[in-house]
Structure 1
């Protein structure tokens, strides 16, 4: 049995609790939040704490801590957890800056703890189908890709908490909403060489961007187009990922990128293609992504292996977004490796 604790009992923590409860070999032993009222509903379920360090000192049976606090606090709390020798599951984004993300990786390595970043969309059925096809190299040389997030987050969403939409604690549409889509883009297309982008705050009363568009060049030479917005009226419209290769075309779409809209691959028969599309339609969400993350960490702890979505994997979209925002601010192309405009 691997024992889990959670720090930060906001909305996303409920997904972690449900995942722990449904994962074989997992047990929730403690939760922590500075707001004691948030802990009341967990009375009798597990130990309750309002101080993270006290929880780590007193609850010695904790193996893994799931960090679910506002993004700007990730580095500080990850340091506390790692120095106590506990493994870490870190909600997305890994951090709001490349420097903080790299520091988290460094701290985890120095203390010999495993680090997993929550990018659960990798485990959706449509994405798993695409991963298999890509691993079989059925698309040939890739020409370009398109990553799109057209969602709605109204002012009431940002007004729920004073940290939402801030540069210090939350980030904008790229860090907070589109990062899962960007993680998938990088997972399939590989590292980005350069970014040319624009971003704006059009509708919401926030510090960060609510719409962003840009083009990227991958190290492979392939190109990409990124569009992300929380300004879509009156509700979420779509999230999609399209990839185009010499011998294959695919578009995964729907409101949450969980259906195969288009699939044409040279070496796949119509029968196999239609079977894959229909199987995804029957169960477009599959086993919850957070449960995959929990079970993967259990396996990593028990077999002393790296989690699938490691700290280095979590760093990649943060690098892309930091370069994206630098390009938007300077109006110039930014190269990922040195993160400097030219």
Structure 2
């Protein structure tokens, strides 16, 4: 499959390197980036640079699209992919608000074009092992999960219009999806304390109390404060405790 990649910053470059180096079935046919660094990256990956992402989507050479861009751009990208009948993988979050998210899902579904969000933790070996082992441990009582990352230097993450939200929007979404993937349970109620510690406009720390189906209680702890990283998951069950760190 010939892939066109929109956005080749920190996340997008990971997609590009995987496409180029790890999969024989895929070819990086073109990239688009707002900065001129994209030209250098295109030479490095042996692909074509598109100044305008719209031209990339319209290219006859592109069979599917990956978008790793600020979520404010995702609706326009989805509209073009739906018209061009090109499958789309969007880096989370899907949109800056629920209304736009629903519009993206609806227009892709109505066009019959595949759409997915890059919830990559589902493919992490630690997460998959926790999912495999959890049913063997009896009744689940409580869960705990964290994702603590270093502060970001991306300016758009401090812009409410472009980012849509802070760390709960961009990082906690991974944790909630992983918890659902591991347990099979939905979250039914949350309460949270959020803070701006290093940032000014959008939260970079959140402690979230969670109630899931079957009266399972838990805490989700996300932040971008320290120069160190962790991605810990804990499950307290009848027969044992399961612990794992996906980072």
Q: TM-score, normalised by structure 2?
A: 0.89
Higher relative contact order (CA 8 A, sep 6+): 1
What does the per-residue CA deviation read over 1:150-175, in whole Å, with 9 as the maximum and x for residues that have no partner?
3331xxx33xx431222222231222
The size of the alignment, in residue pairs, is 243
Q: Does 1:166 align with 2:159?
A: yes
2:189 to 163, 172, 194: 194
Structure with the greater alpha carbon radius of gyration:
1
Match of 1:281 in 2: none
Match of 2:49 in 1: 48
What does the per-residue CA deviation read over 1:279-330, in whole Å, with 9 as the maximum and x for residues that have no partner?
xxxxxxxxxxxxxxxxxxxxxxxxxxxxxxxxxxxxxxxxxxxxxxxxxxxx
Inter-partner Cα distance in structure 1 for 2:118 and 2:206: 23
Contact in 1 for aligned 2:85/2:113 (Cα 8 Å): yes
Inter-partner Cα distance in structure 1 for 2:129 and 2:56: 41
Inter-partner Cα distance in structure 1 for 2:157 and 2:8: 16
Contact in 1 for aligned 2:208/2:221 (Cα 8 Å): yes
Contact in 2 for aligned 1:243/1:251 (Cα 8 Å): yes
Inter-partner Cα distance in structure 1 for 2:150 and 2:188: 30
Inter-partner Cα distance in structure 2 for 1:87 and 1:115: 6
Inter-partner Cα distance in structure 2 for 1:41 and 1:211: 33
Q: Cα distance 1:249–1:66, how it changes in 2: closer, same or farther (>3 A)?
A: same
Inter-partner Cα distance in structure 2 for 1:71 and 1:28: 22
Match of 1:209 in 2: 203
Match of 2:232 in 1: 240
CA-CA distance at 1:96 after TM superposition: 2.9
Q: Cα distance 1:7–1:152, how it changes in 2: closer, same or farther (>3 A)?
A: closer
What does the per-residue CA deviation read over 1:254-290, in whole Å, with 9 as the maximum and x for residues that have no partner?
xxx24xxxxxxxxxxxxxxxxxxxxxxxxxxxxxxxx
Unaligned runs of 5+ in 2: none
Inter-partner Cα distance in structure 2 for 1:48 and 1:95: 25
Q: TM-score, normalised by structure 1?
A: 0.66
Inter-partner Cα distance in structure 2 for 1:204 and 1:32: 29
Q: Cα distance 1:35–1:203, how it changes in 2: closer, same or farther (>3 A)?
A: closer
Contact in 2 for aligned 1:145/1:225 (Cα 8 Å): yes
| 1:37-186 paired onto structure 2 within 5 Å | 37-43=37-43, 45-57=46-58, 59-134=59-134, 137-153=135-151, 157-158=152-153, 161-170=154-163, 171-186=165-180
Contact in 1 for aligned 2:195/2:206 (Cα 8 Å): yes
TM-align CA RMSD: 2.0
Match of 2:26 in 1: 26
Structure 2 residue matching 1:4: 3-state secondary structure: strand
Match of 1:228 in 2: 222
CA-CA distance at 1:66 after TM superposition: 0.5
2:243 to 244, 248, 251: 251
Q: Cα distance 1:181–1:166, how it changes in 2: closer, same or farther (>3 A)?
A: same
Match of 2:6 in 1: 7
Contact in 1 for aligned 2:93/2:169 (Cα 8 Å): yes
Unaligned runs of 5+ in 1: 259-342
